[in-house]
Amino acid sequence: MRSSARQVTPCDVGEHAPLVLESGRIIDAATQQARTDALSVSQSDQRWKRAIVRRMKGNIGTEALLPSLHDVEASAGFGALTISMRVAWEIAADEGLIGSVGVLVRTQLQTIEREISNGGCSGDDLSTLAEMAVEYRDALSI
């Protein structure tokens, strides 16, 4: 027998439950807004996603810091990849989607340094964070 890690949360169908769908259409205002917001984010990210995938396919120059599309696909079944966001942010800046990458790098570096100093990381995680911190510091000094 196959077990499922998926948890099912029953819907409230009681007398006082809010009506969300009617005749197959969303009528709940909060649900409609959440759907509209999600579609907006997805739409605005399309240009960035296409630029990242183009560079992953080429995987040359500074883009070599990105995993290849093959690496992402091969690793998908095992877990998340832990990589720096710096190159992805640079791609977004090149596409005119964001301004200064420096602000993001500084903020991420502060977060990484805080996690390192908290001492809650295992050896591999600590090593990964330390490598990312060096990369972010180097990027700020350029």
pLDDT for 64 = 59
Q: Which residue has the higher pLDDT, 26 or 3?
A: 26
Q: Using 50, 70 and 90 to split pLDDT, how confident is the model at 68?
A: low
Rounded Cα gap, residues 9 and 125, in angstroms = 33
pLDDT for 79 = 56
Residue 22, token pair as written in the block: 């009617």
The answer to whether residue 122 scores a pLDDT higher than 70 is: yes
Backbone dihedral region of 22: left (phi > 0), alpha (psi from -120 to 50 degrees) or beta?
A: beta
Q: Cβ atoms within 10 A of the Cβ of 50, count?
A: 11
